[in-house]
Protein backbone atom coordinates (compact mmCIF):
# COMPACT_ATOMS: atom_id res chain seq x y z
CA UNK A 1 0.00 0.00 0.00
CA UNK A 2 1.21 3.47 -0.78
CA UNK A 3 0.02 5.10 2.42
CA UNK A 4 -2.55 4.92 5.17
CA UNK A 5 -5.23 6.84 3.27
CA UNK A 6 -4.79 4.84 0.10
CA UNK A 7 -4.54 1.60 2.05
CA UNK A 8 -7.84 2.26 3.75
CA UNK A 9 -9.45 3.16 0.44
CA UNK A 10 -8.26 -0.05 -1.20
CA UNK A 11 -9.26 -2.09 1.81
CA UNK A 12 -12.79 -0.71 1.53
CA UNK A 13 -12.93 -1.19 -2.24
CA UNK A 14 -11.45 -4.67 -2.50
CA UNK A 15 -11.84 -6.27 0.90
CA UNK A 16 -15.31 -6.15 2.48
CA UNK A 17 -14.85 -5.53 6.19
CA UNK A 18 -16.20 -8.11 8.61
CA UNK A 19 -13.88 -7.32 11.51
CA UNK A 20 -10.29 -6.89 12.60
CA UNK A 21 -8.14 -9.05 14.81
CA UNK A 22 -5.35 -8.19 17.22
CA UNK A 23 -1.91 -7.12 16.01
CA UNK A 24 1.13 -9.13 14.99
CA UNK A 25 2.41 -9.90 18.47
CA UNK A 26 -0.73 -11.66 19.60
CA UNK A 27 -1.15 -13.58 16.37
CA UNK A 28 2.36 -14.88 15.78
CA UNK A 29 1.56 -18.07 17.65
CA UNK A 30 -1.59 -18.68 15.63
CA UNK A 31 0.16 -18.85 12.29
CA UNK A 32 -1.03 -17.55 8.94
CA UNK A 33 -2.76 -20.74 7.87
CA UNK A 34 -5.58 -20.87 10.39
CA UNK A 35 -8.81 -21.56 8.50
CA UNK A 36 -11.07 -20.08 11.18
CA UNK A 37 -13.38 -17.62 9.40
CA UNK A 38 -14.00 -15.38 12.43
CA UNK A 39 -12.71 -11.79 12.48
CA UNK A 40 -11.38 -11.75 8.95
CA UNK A 41 -11.54 -9.43 5.97
CA UNK A 42 -12.84 -11.58 3.13
CA UNK A 43 -12.09 -10.50 -0.46
CA UNK A 44 -14.68 -11.00 -3.21
CA UNK A 45 -14.88 -14.50 -4.67
CA UNK A 46 -14.07 -13.25 -8.19
CA UNK A 47 -10.42 -13.09 -9.17
CA UNK A 48 -8.74 -9.89 -8.07
CA UNK A 49 -5.11 -8.82 -8.36
CA UNK A 50 -3.88 -6.50 -5.61
CA UNK A 51 -0.54 -5.34 -4.26
CA UNK A 52 0.57 -4.24 -0.80
CA UNK A 53 3.74 -2.36 0.09
CA UNK A 54 5.61 -0.91 3.02
CA UNK A 55 5.25 2.84 2.41
CA UNK A 56 8.32 3.51 4.58
CA UNK A 57 10.66 1.26 2.60
CA UNK A 58 13.20 2.61 0.09
CA UNK A 59 12.67 0.38 -2.95
CA UNK A 60 15.59 2.05 -4.71
CA UNK A 61 17.85 0.09 -2.35
CA UNK A 62 16.97 -3.19 -4.10
CA UNK A 63 19.24 -4.40 -6.91
CA UNK A 64 19.68 -8.18 -6.74
CA UNK A 65 17.40 -11.08 -5.82
CA UNK A 66 17.25 -14.78 -5.11
CA UNK A 67 14.20 -17.03 -5.32
CA UNK A 68 13.42 -20.61 -4.22
CA UNK A 69 12.53 -22.87 -7.14
CA UNK A 70 9.34 -24.06 -5.44
CA UNK A 71 5.81 -22.70 -5.03
CA UNK A 72 5.02 -23.45 -1.39
CA UNK A 73 1.46 -24.50 -0.57
CA UNK A 74 0.04 -22.83 2.54
CA UNK A 75 -1.88 -25.51 4.43
CA UNK A 76 -4.30 -25.03 7.32
CA UNK A 77 -2.95 -25.30 10.86
CA UNK A 78 -5.54 -28.00 11.50
CA UNK A 79 -7.60 -30.09 9.12
CA UNK A 80 -6.91 -31.47 5.68
CA UNK A 81 -5.44 -29.20 2.99
CA UNK A 82 -7.33 -28.91 -0.29
CA UNK A 83 -4.98 -29.88 -3.09
CA UNK A 84 -4.01 -27.15 -5.56
CA UNK A 85 -2.68 -27.96 -9.02
CA UNK A 86 1.09 -27.80 -9.43
CA UNK A 87 0.80 -27.88 -13.20
CA UNK A 88 1.56 -24.16 -13.44
CA UNK A 89 4.24 -23.82 -10.75
CA UNK A 90 7.04 -23.44 -13.28
CA UNK A 91 5.00 -20.88 -15.24
CA UNK A 92 4.40 -18.78 -12.12
CA UNK A 93 8.03 -18.87 -10.99
CA UNK A 94 9.34 -18.07 -14.45
CA UNK A 95 6.94 -15.15 -14.91
CA UNK A 96 7.90 -13.60 -11.58
CA UNK A 97 11.56 -13.99 -12.50
CA UNK A 98 11.08 -12.50 -15.97
CA UNK A 99 9.26 -9.47 -14.58
CA UNK A 100 12.06 -8.83 -12.11
CA UNK A 101 14.73 -9.19 -14.78
CA UNK A 102 12.77 -6.87 -17.07
CA UNK A 103 12.72 -4.28 -14.26
CA UNK A 104 16.53 -4.36 -14.17
CA UNK A 105 17.10 -6.62 -11.17
CA UNK A 106 19.91 -9.18 -11.28
CA UNK A 107 19.46 -12.71 -9.99
CA UNK A 108 22.18 -13.93 -7.64
CA UNK A 109 23.48 -17.31 -8.80
CA UNK A 110 24.58 -18.54 -5.37
CA UNK A 111 22.90 -16.73 -2.45
CA UNK A 112 24.71 -19.01 -0.01
CA UNK A 113 27.85 -16.97 -0.61
CA UNK A 114 26.53 -13.71 -2.09
CA UNK A 115 23.84 -11.81 -0.20
CA UNK A 116 21.02 -10.65 -2.50
CA UNK A 117 19.12 -7.41 -1.89
CA UNK A 118 15.93 -9.40 -1.48
CA UNK A 119 14.44 -12.87 -1.54
CA UNK A 120 11.24 -13.59 -3.47
CA UNK A 121 8.82 -16.15 -2.04
CA UNK A 122 6.00 -17.55 -4.17
CA UNK A 123 3.20 -19.47 -2.48
CA UNK A 124 -0.34 -20.69 -3.07
CA UNK A 125 -3.18 -21.20 -0.59
CA UNK A 126 -4.29 -24.80 -0.15
CA UNK A 127 -7.14 -23.93 2.20
CA UNK A 128 -10.20 -21.71 2.27
CA UNK A 129 -10.04 -18.55 4.37
CA UNK A 130 -6.25 -18.47 4.47
CA UNK A 131 -5.23 -15.73 6.93
CA UNK A 132 -2.68 -13.68 5.01
CA UNK A 133 -0.43 -10.99 6.51
CA UNK A 134 -0.49 -12.53 9.99
CA UNK A 135 2.96 -13.31 11.38
CA UNK A 136 3.93 -16.98 11.27
CA UNK A 137 6.95 -19.23 11.64
CA UNK A 138 8.04 -18.86 8.03
CA UNK A 139 11.23 -20.93 8.23
CA UNK A 140 9.16 -24.04 8.84
CA UNK A 141 7.83 -23.63 5.29
CA UNK A 142 10.82 -22.14 3.50
CA UNK A 143 13.70 -23.74 5.40
CA UNK A 144 14.28 -26.29 2.62
CA UNK A 145 15.80 -23.51 0.49
CA UNK A 146 19.60 -23.58 0.57
CA UNK A 147 19.75 -19.93 -0.42
CA UNK A 148 19.37 -18.73 3.19
CA UNK A 149 23.05 -19.45 3.72
CA UNK A 150 23.95 -15.75 3.41
CA UNK A 151 22.69 -15.22 6.96
CA UNK A 152 24.85 -16.35 9.88
CA UNK A 153 24.28 -17.88 12.40
CA UNK A 154 21.24 -19.04 10.42
CA UNK A 155 17.44 -18.95 10.74
CA UNK A 156 15.28 -21.33 12.77
CA UNK A 157 11.57 -22.02 13.11
CA UNK A 158 11.54 -19.49 15.97
CA UNK A 159 11.76 -16.69 13.39
CA UNK A 160 8.59 -14.83 12.44
CA UNK A 161 7.64 -12.50 9.61
CA UNK A 162 6.20 -8.98 9.85
CA UNK A 163 3.76 -7.50 7.31
CA UNK A 164 3.79 -3.73 7.98
CA UNK A 165 0.42 -3.13 6.29
CA UNK A 166 -1.30 -5.56 8.66
CA UNK A 167 -2.22 -2.74 11.04
CA UNK A 168 -4.18 -1.11 8.20
CA UNK A 169 -5.90 -4.02 6.46
CA UNK A 170 -6.05 -6.49 9.36
CA UNK A 171 -6.15 -10.23 8.83
CA UNK A 172 -7.26 -10.94 5.28
CA UNK A 173 -8.85 -14.23 4.25
CA UNK A 174 -8.05 -15.56 0.79
CA UNK A 175 -9.70 -18.52 -0.85
CA UNK A 176 -8.05 -21.71 -2.04
CA UNK A 177 -5.75 -21.34 -5.03
CA UNK A 178 -4.70 -17.73 -4.34
CA UNK A 179 -1.18 -16.94 -5.52
CA UNK A 180 0.94 -14.77 -3.18
CA UNK A 181 4.29 -13.29 -4.20
CA UNK A 182 6.35 -11.84 -1.36
CA UNK A 183 9.47 -9.63 -1.45
CA UNK A 184 11.68 -9.91 1.64
CA UNK A 185 14.62 -7.44 1.76
CA UNK A 186 17.66 -9.08 3.32
CA UNK A 187 18.37 -5.83 5.17
CA UNK A 188 15.07 -6.33 7.04
CA UNK A 189 16.50 -9.11 9.22
CA UNK A 190 16.00 -8.21 12.88
CA UNK A 191 18.17 -10.57 14.92
CA UNK A 192 16.98 -9.13 18.24
CA UNK A 193 13.31 -9.84 17.55
CA UNK A 194 14.05 -12.83 15.31
CA UNK A 195 11.90 -11.47 12.50
CA UNK A 196 12.14 -10.66 8.83
CA UNK A 197 9.98 -7.94 7.27
CA UNK A 198 8.11 -8.00 3.98
CA UNK A 199 8.33 -4.90 1.78
CA UNK A 200 5.84 -5.93 -0.90
CA UNK A 201 3.28 -8.60 -1.68
CA UNK A 202 1.33 -9.30 -4.83
CA UNK A 203 -1.89 -11.31 -4.55
CA UNK A 204 -4.03 -12.95 -7.23
CA UNK A 205 -7.13 -14.35 -5.54
CA UNK A 206 -8.34 -17.80 -6.56
CA UNK A 207 -5.90 -17.84 -9.47
CA UNK A 208 -5.16 -21.58 -9.30
CA UNK A 209 -8.76 -22.63 -8.76
CA UNK A 210 -11.13 -23.39 -11.61
CA UNK A 211 -10.18 -22.94 -15.25
CA UNK A 212 -6.45 -22.23 -15.47
CA UNK A 213 -4.20 -21.53 -18.44
CA UNK A 214 -0.65 -20.30 -18.81
CA UNK A 215 -2.07 -17.00 -20.01
CA UNK A 216 -4.18 -16.69 -16.85
CA UNK A 217 -1.09 -17.14 -14.68
CA UNK A 218 1.22 -14.85 -16.63
CA UNK A 219 -1.44 -12.17 -17.01
CA UNK A 220 -2.12 -12.00 -13.27
CA UNK A 221 1.58 -11.81 -12.39
CA UNK A 222 2.17 -9.15 -15.03
CA UNK A 223 -0.66 -7.14 -13.49
CA UNK A 224 0.98 -7.31 -10.05
CA UNK A 225 4.07 -5.65 -11.48
CA UNK A 226 2.06 -3.19 -13.56
CA UNK A 227 0.46 -2.03 -10.30
CA UNK A 228 3.96 -1.56 -8.80
CA UNK A 229 5.93 0.97 -10.90
CA UNK A 230 8.28 1.57 -7.94
CA UNK A 231 9.68 -1.95 -8.40
CA UNK A 232 12.51 -0.85 -10.67
CA UNK A 233 16.19 -1.48 -10.12
CA UNK A 234 18.54 1.48 -10.06
CA UNK A 235 22.31 1.57 -9.95
CA UNK A 236 23.86 1.63 -6.45
CA UNK A 237 25.25 5.10 -7.21
CA UNK A 238 21.85 6.48 -8.23
CA UNK A 239 20.19 4.99 -5.15
CA UNK A 240 22.38 6.97 -2.72
Q: How far apart are CA 166 and CA 171, in angstroms?
A: 7
Beta-carbon contacts of residue 103 (< 8 Å; ≥ 6 apart): 225, 231, 232, 233
Mean pLDDT of 231-235: 82
- What gap in Å lies between CA 181 and CA 85, rounded to an integer? 17
Residue 114: what pLDDT? Answer: 95
Closest C-alpha to 79, from 37, 22, 28, 21? 37
**240 three-class SS:** coil
Which residue, 138, 129, 124, is CA-closest to 39?
A: 129
CATH architecture of the domain with residue range 4-77+87-106+116-226 = 2-Layer Sandwich (3.30)
Nearest-CA neighbor of 165 among 202, 199, 131, 136?
A: 199
pLDDT of residue 77: 66
145 three-class SS: coil
CA 183 to chain centroid: 6
pLDDT in tens, 13-48: 333 222 222 222 332 333 344 433 333 334 444 579
For residues 149 and 135, give the distance between their C-alpha atoms in angstroms, rounded to a whole number: 22
> 94-129 pLDDT, tens per residue?
999 999 999 999 999 999 999 999 999 999 998 888
Q: Which residue has the higher pLDDT, 127 or 91?
A: 91
Amino acid sequence: MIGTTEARRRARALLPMVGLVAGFGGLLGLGACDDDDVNLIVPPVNRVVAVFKDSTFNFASLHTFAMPDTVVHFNPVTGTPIAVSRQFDATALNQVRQNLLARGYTEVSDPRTTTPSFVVLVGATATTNYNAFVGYSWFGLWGFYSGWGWYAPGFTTAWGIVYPWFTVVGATAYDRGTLIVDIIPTASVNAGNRTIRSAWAGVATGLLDGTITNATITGAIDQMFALSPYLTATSPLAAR
